[in-house]
Amino acid sequence: MRAVGCMELGAPSVLRPLEIDRPACGERQVLIRTEGVSVNYADLQTRRGAYHAGGTQFPVIPGLDVTGTVEEVGVQVRTLRPGQRVIAFPHTGSYADFVAADEDLTFPVPESVSLEQAIACPLVTFTSRMLLEKVARLSPGETLVIHAASGGIGTTVIQMARLMGAGTIIGTVGSRGKTQAALDAGADRVVCLEDGGFSEQVLAQTGGRGADVILDSLGGTYTNEGLSCLVPYGRLVVFGNASRSYSELNTSALHASCRSVLGFSIGSTRKLRPAWFQDVAPAVLEDLALGRIRIPVAARFPLEEAARAHALLEERRITGKVILTV
């Protein structure tokens, strides 16, 4: 079958069409004929080799989620049938004509959800719900700061936090041109990182109080800076390192203030705590079915042009989500 991946790590141009074996469908798995995949920042990191701590196995096929039609079901599968349109989180890269996914990581797409929204939604909606509900445990009325607020996760977190009763939602963006997209998603205020000192801006926007929850996908110095505007009992969740570095924390910043620094990875959760997917699925699918969450799609490319999609995301020129269609 056809896939798109790379035989060496590097720039977006290393991505190219490849012929690989069609995956076998395990007893508790479904084989899915791919209709589309969402392009996530993690796919760029996979292509660069940032996640291959145990050594790189080529070909590297990126892709963390898939939308498609069930082609085949394993003998032990009870809840899914051939022909259903589903979203899923396969264990292997989804930039391919077919992927196999576990039954408990595969969810029927509600009929009211368009194909485009289905393709754009899986990773951003499940990640956002887990971040807010399971990890940060956002309570109604709490002030939230979300970085990269105009991006895929950013615009989804803002909409979802609003539905969960968040108080003030402050987004940060890398450049002024991205402000409107974060406001359109529902942010109350947007802080531009180009102006420097985001924590001072967050304190200024909250009357000197700060944030209850900070969702930090940037890492590096941004994490330590976040602690300067996190209230007592506040939660800072590190779930990415787009700045390509991590911070060193002094735990004295946590002890007396009763604040927490937490970590999250949906890839680890898929392997180690797959039940979380089942836990958040009802709320995620209902929000999508009722149109309460809308993923802004910035661009769509055919799967063969994945390199163009990666370049677009890498250049930080777009807001919203990029999708690939088959």
- Contact residues toward ligand NAP (CB under 6 A) are 40-42, 123-124, 127, 148, 150-154, 173-175, 178, 217-218, 239-240, 242-243, 264-266, 313, 316
Distance between start and end Cα atoms, the chain:
12
**β strands within the chain, DSSP E:** 2-5, 16-19, 29-39, 66-73, 85-88, 98-102, 106-108, 144-146, 169-173, 189-192, 211-216, 230-238, 260-263, 297-302, 321-325
Write down the least CB distance from residue 107 to ligand NAP, Å.
Answer: 17
Select 265 or 325, whichever has its Cβ closest to ligand NAP.
265
- Tell me how far apart the alpha carbons of residues 104 and 27 are, in angstroms, rounded to a whole number: 12
Select 14 or 312, whichever has its Cβ closest to ligand NAP.
312
| CA quadruple 73, 286, 149, 251: dihedral sign | negative
Write down the least CB distance from residue 267 to ligand NAP, Å.
Answer: 6
- DSSP per-residue letters across 119-143: HHSHHHHHHHHIIIIIIS---TT--
**Closest Cα partner for 107 from 273, 281, 275?**
281
Write down the least CB distance from residue 138 to ligand NAP, Å.
Answer: 17
Select 119 or 173, whichever has its Cβ closest to ligand NAP.
173
- Tell me how far apart the alpha carbons of residues 210 and 199 are, in angstroms, rounded to a whole number: 8
Q: Contact at 8 Å (CB) between 138 and 158?
A: no
Select 147 or 210, whichever has its Cβ closest to ligand NAP.
147
Select 239 or 276, whichever has its Cβ closest to ligand NAP.
239
State the residue number with the nearest CB to ligand NAP: 151
- DSSP per-residue letters across 150-169: TBHHHHHHHHHHHHTT-S-E
Phi/psi at 215 (5° precision): -100, 110
Write down the least CB distance from residue 124 to ligand NAP, Å.
Answer: 6
Write down the least CB distance from residue 86 to ligand NAP, Å.
Answer: 20
Q: Which residue has the tokens 């049938």?
A: 81
Q: Contact at 8 Å (CB) between 8 and 56?
A: no
Select 134 or 316, whichever has its Cβ closest to ligand NAP.
316
Write down the least CB distance from residue 280 to ligand NAP, Å.
Answer: 13
Tokens of 321: 């989500």
Select 81 or 137, whichever has its Cβ closest to ligand NAP.
137
Write down the least CB distance from residue 323 to ligand NAP, Å.
Answer: 12
